[in-house]
Structure 1
Amino acid sequence: MKHLADLLLLGDPRLYQSCEPVLESELPLVPDWVADLHNVMEEIRAMYQFGRGIAAPQLGIMKRLIYLNVDRPQVIINPELTAVSDEQDELWDDCMSFPNLLVRVRRHRSLTLRFRDELWRPQTWDVTDWGLSELIQHEYDHLNGVLCTMRAVDAQSFRWRPTPTH
């Protein structure tokens, strides 16, 4: 089982690599990968009070796999963004791989995502919820070796996260 100490941090060269697709023959490995992603996300939530999604490469699993847990757990295998809206908004983005840094980025308001679920069934998801759309774009970027630091609106688009109070 992977833990917070296994999370790749800003500067690790693996975070800048594109991931390989999950093969159907690797489907038996997915539950263990998802358990690791879930475990690390829960540790981040406990320590930093944020975390709605995590991408496999953040744990050194160089596969096109995203785990979301917003209203319920969701496994996204081999996602493809097939459409994005022209309309965009800005937000202060955060990332588990640099949990104390916030980055101002611009993301599309809505998108269409094609992927396979944990049973290898093809899915298409039209996402119109802004919070979910920006989250999916953030995690999808990880699969392509892109960090939100690389999408900063400008040179002043960085700030430290306020320290959580317990």
Structure 2
Amino acid sequence: MKGLADLLLLGDPRLYEICAEVEPDELPLVAGWVADLHNVMEEIRAKYNFGRAIAAPQLGIMKRLIYMNVPPPAGRGPVVFINPVLEDLSDETFELWDDCMSFPNLLVRVRRHKSLTIRYFDEHWRPQRWHLDDALSELLQHEYDHLDGILCTMRAIDDKSFRWRP
């Protein structure tokens, strides 16, 4: 079982790689990957008091896989996104201080789309679609960026858009 020591930190070259799609014959591996992602996210929550989702490449699993666990009413509880695709990104955007498990003490001011639709396979390889607004839209954009080797530091609004977590 992977733990906090396995989390890739800012500067690790793997965080800048584009991930490969999960293949149907890899589906038996997904449950183990998700267990590792869940475990690390729980350790981050305990240590830093944040964490709603984590992308597989943050643990060196270079696959297009995101695990999110946001309890209702804001979310659906645990959700596994396999090979997600973002669609219908709104023209309307908003700014926020973004955080990341791979650099937990740094906040970065970014601009994100207010809403989007995500198309993905669930852990049973069933196709799914979900329309997300506001905080969940921002969250999935952040995690999706990890799959393409993009960190929120690369999306900073300007060179003054960085601060330490209070």
Query: Which one of 89, 93, 106 corresponds to residue 94 of structure 2?
Result: 89
Query: What residue number does 2:5 align with?
Result: 5
Deviation sequence 1:80-99 (CA, Å, 0-9, x none): 01220000000000000000
Aligned identity (percent) is 75
Correspondence 1:51-62 to 2 at 5 A: 51-62=51-62
- Residues in 2 aligned to 1:101 and 1:14: alpha-carbon distance in whole angstroms: 19
- Residues in 2 aligned to 1:69 and 1:81: alpha-carbon distance in whole angstroms: 19
Q: Which runs of 4+ in 1 moved over 6 A?
A: none
* Structure 1: gaps spanning 5 or more residues: none
Does 2:18 correspond to 1:18? yes
Q: Which amino acid in the other structure matches residue 76 of structure 1?
A: F
Q: CA deviation at 1:59?
A: 0.0
- Residues in 2 aligned to 1:82 and 1:133: alpha-carbon distance in whole angstroms: 11
- TM-score between both structures, scaled by the size of structure 1: 0.96
In the comparison of the two structures, how many residue pairs are matched? Answer: 161
Query: What residue number does 2:74 align with?
Result: none
Query: Which one of 151, 155, 166 corresponds to residue 155 of structure 2?
Result: 151
* Structure 2: gaps spanning 5 or more residues: 72-76
Q: CA deviation at 1:121?
A: 0.2
Deviation sequence 1:43-80 (CA, Å, 0-9, x none): 00000000000000000000000000001111000000
- Residues in 2 aligned to 1:41 and 1:139: alpha-carbon distance in whole angstroms: 13
Deviation sequence 1:125-158 (CA, Å, 0-9, x none): 1112x01000000000000000000000000000
- Residues in 2 aligned to 1:28 and 1:77: alpha-carbon distance in whole angstroms: 13
Q: CA deviation at 1:20?
A: 0.2
Correspondence 1:1-166 to 2 at 5 A: 1-71=1-71, 72-128=77-133, 130-162=134-166
- Residues in 2 aligned to 1:142 and 1:133: alpha-carbon distance in whole angstroms: 15
- Residues in 2 aligned to 1:82 and 1:127: alpha-carbon distance in whole angstroms: 11
- Residues in 1 aligned to 2:32 and 2:137: alpha-carbon distance in whole angstroms: 26
- Residues in 2 aligned to 1:7 and 1:156: alpha-carbon distance in whole angstroms: 27
- Residues in 2 aligned to 1:124 and 1:60: alpha-carbon distance in whole angstroms: 27
